[in-house]
């Protein structure tokens, strides 16, 4: 490289200046590293800077440099689209009133043949001052891969003002019934939050006997930031719990089916019988 700079200690302005004035002196790998650095600091960039860099890279005779121009442009468009999408979910939660703290709550594991039902409750700062405070990636947990849910669950825990996960085991499900447990686990998730909330948003139906204002939203996990977040952290927690249970009961393949009634799981029940994690009230048509 003929440009005499320390590649490890460049700031945004340095990178912009080098690309705009001396790109011809730099190799693909050097420019590529600068572009990656820019992407890591996209909140510090402005539209004019990005447009200038994209245009300058696009004038380069090297095809791989032109591709970097397209890559940077696509990255920024995708990032801004994600910011707008997540902000819309936050604004949806805020639209229910000027509450000090609003919690979103959702449950997972209502239907499996084994294991607990779980619920997650999350409180975000809906009056955030900086877009970097947003929990990017949140959406309906069913639309995320297991790996992505794990990653986003950590983001949620980092960004949330408070979060809590509650579970009710299979024995209590058998004793009290799934409907009661479904409602109760939502209540416990909310009640376990470390800050007092003024409003609870729930997915699909109201939480009964909750002494806090409650709004229920149809398909709330695709509209509300806090409901989606609650669903994600509960799903990740429960799936990981079932993977731990699978170590003691490998014959049921809990690590892959999470206790749901797959053909393989049902066949294992018929072959090996039940274990202490099974919901007897769910097995009447199987045993």
Instruction: Indicate whether 156 and 78 sit together in one domain.
Output: no
Residues 22 and 89 in one domain: yes
Tens of pLDDT, residues 260-282: 999 999 999 999 999 999 999 99
Q: How many domains does one find in the chain?
A: 2
| Residue 2 clears pLDDT 70, i.e. is over it | no
Provide the pLDDT for residue 10: 67
Q: State which H helix or E strand residue 164 sits in.
A: strand 162-168
Q: In this prediction, what percent of the chain has a pLDDT beyond 90? A: 76
Q: Are residues 138 and 212 in the same domain?
A: yes
Average pLDDT over residues 72-99: 93
> Domain containing 141 — which CATH number?
3.30.420.10
Q: Which of 235, 257, 274 is the last residue of a domain?
A: 235
CA 171, distance to chain mean position in Å, is 30
- Tell me the binding residues for a divalent metal cation: 106-107, 203
Instruction: Taking residues 227-249, report their average pLDDT.
Output: 98
Instruction: Check residue 242 and give its pLDDT.
Output: 98
Checking if the pLDDT of 6 tops 70, the result is no
Positive or negative, the Cα torsion across 275, 281, 282, 286?
positive
9-41, pLDDT tens digit by residue?
A: 667 787 888 888 888 888 898 889 988 988 888
Query: How much is the pLDDT for 207?
Result: 97
Q: Which of 249, 252, 250 is nearest to 286 (CA)?
A: 252
Q: Give the pairing type, strands 199-203 and 102-108.
A: parallel
pLDDT mean over 4-11: 58
Give the pLDDT score at 145: 95
The pLDDT of residue 4 is above 70: no
Give residue 147's domain range: 102-235
- Assess if residue 255 is contained within a domain: no
Based on the domain organization, do 38 and 143 belong to the same domain? no
The DSSP string of 173-238 is HHHH-HHHHHHHHHHHHHHT-SS--SEEEEESSPPTT-SSEEEEETTGGGT-HHHHHHHHHHHHHH
The C-alpha atoms of residue 223 and residue 192 are separated, in whole angstroms, by 24
Task: Determine the straight-line distance between the first and last CA of the chain, rounded to whole angstroms.
Answer: 72
CA distance 168 to 145: 25
pLDDT > 70 fraction of the chain, expressed in percent and rounded: 97
Residues 230 and 114 in one domain: yes
* pLDDT above 50 (res 215): yes
Whether residues 63 and 131 share a domain: the answer is: no
Interhelix angle 28-40/63-94, rounded to 10 degrees, is: 10
Say if residue 217's pLDDT is above 60: yes
- Residues making up the annotated binding site are 106-107, 203
The whole-number pLDDT of residue 198 equals 94
Report, as an integer, the average pLDDT of 182-202: 97
Is there a contact between 231 and 106 (Cβ–Cβ < 8 Å)?
Answer: yes
């Amino acid at each position: 490289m003929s440009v005499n700079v320390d590649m490890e200690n460049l700031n945004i302005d340095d990178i912009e200046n080098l690309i705009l004035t001396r790109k011809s002196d730099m190799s693909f790998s050097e420019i590529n590293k600068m572009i990656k650095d820019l992407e890591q600091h996209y909140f510090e960039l402005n539209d004019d800077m990005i447009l200038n860099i994209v245009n300058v890279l696009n004038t380069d005779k090297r095809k791989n440099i032109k591709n970097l121009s397209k890559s940077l442009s696509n990255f920024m468009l995708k990032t801004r689209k994600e910011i707008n999408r997540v902000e819309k979910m936050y604004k949806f939660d805020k639209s229910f009133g000027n509450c000090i703290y609003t919690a979103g709550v959702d449950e997972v594991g209502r239907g499996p043949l084994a294991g607990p039902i779980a619920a997650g409750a999350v409180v975000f700062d809906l009056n955030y001052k900086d877009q970097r405070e947003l929990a990017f990636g949140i959406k309906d947990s069913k639309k995320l891969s297991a790996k992505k849910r794990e990653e986003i669950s950590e983001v949620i825990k980092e960004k949330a003002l408070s979060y809590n996960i509650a579970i009710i085991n299979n024995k209590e499900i058998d004793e009290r019934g799934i409907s009661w447990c479904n409602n109760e686990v939502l209540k416990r998730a909310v009640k376990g939050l470390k800050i007092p909330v003024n409003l609870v948003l729930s997915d699909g139906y109201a939480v009964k006997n909750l002494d806090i204002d409650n709004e229920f939203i149809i398909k709330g996990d695709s509209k509300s930031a806090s409901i989606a977040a609650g669903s994600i952290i509960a799903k990740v927690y429960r799936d990981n719990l079932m993977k731990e249970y699978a170590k003691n009961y490998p014959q049921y393949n809990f690590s892959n089916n999470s206790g749901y009634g797959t053909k393989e799981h049902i066949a294992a029940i018929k072959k090996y019988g039940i274990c202490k994690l099974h919901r007897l009230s769910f097995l009447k048509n199987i045993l």
